[in-house]
Amino acid sequence: MSDEIHDPQHDAAAEPSRPPFETCLKRGLRLRCPRCGQGKLFAGTVKMHERCSHCHLKYERDHGYFLGAIYINYGLTSFSSALLFVLFTFVLGYNRTHVILALLGYCCIVPVLIHRFARSMWLAIDCHFDSEEFGRDDD
């Protein structure tokens, strides 16, 4: 029988800290670094910084890393367009052809507008679920 006392703080120090999911999402919506919440993700409209200016987290973890952001972008666009179709066609009674034509334009514009947020949210979600990888800095 061991007389060791379990110290949860000692265990927490051994593992990289995992930001709470809500914190990661808030940082993602603010287009900030998911690890520290300080550094900006984007240098312009489309160009991302390579690293966080505050904690030096490398944003693009590997070649093709942001492929998951495409899924987020596609999911948000398709879900919202389906909801809009139902709303305008069945609830408000607009002509189905006119609604489809309007939604074609919507589906071309919205992915461009939410591109930055999709990337930011992908990075934030990955930071939460892969905290070991985000606890270290790669050169």
Enumerate residues 6+ apart whose C-beta is below 8 A from 3. none
Specify the pTM: 0.78
Query: Model confidence at 128, in pLDDT bands (50, 70, 90)?
Result: confident
pLDDT at 89 over 90: yes
pLDDT value of position 62: 85
The predicted-structure confidence for 106-121, as pLDDT tens digits, reads as follows 999 999 999 999 999 9
Of residues 106 and 58, which shows the higher confidence score? Answer: 106
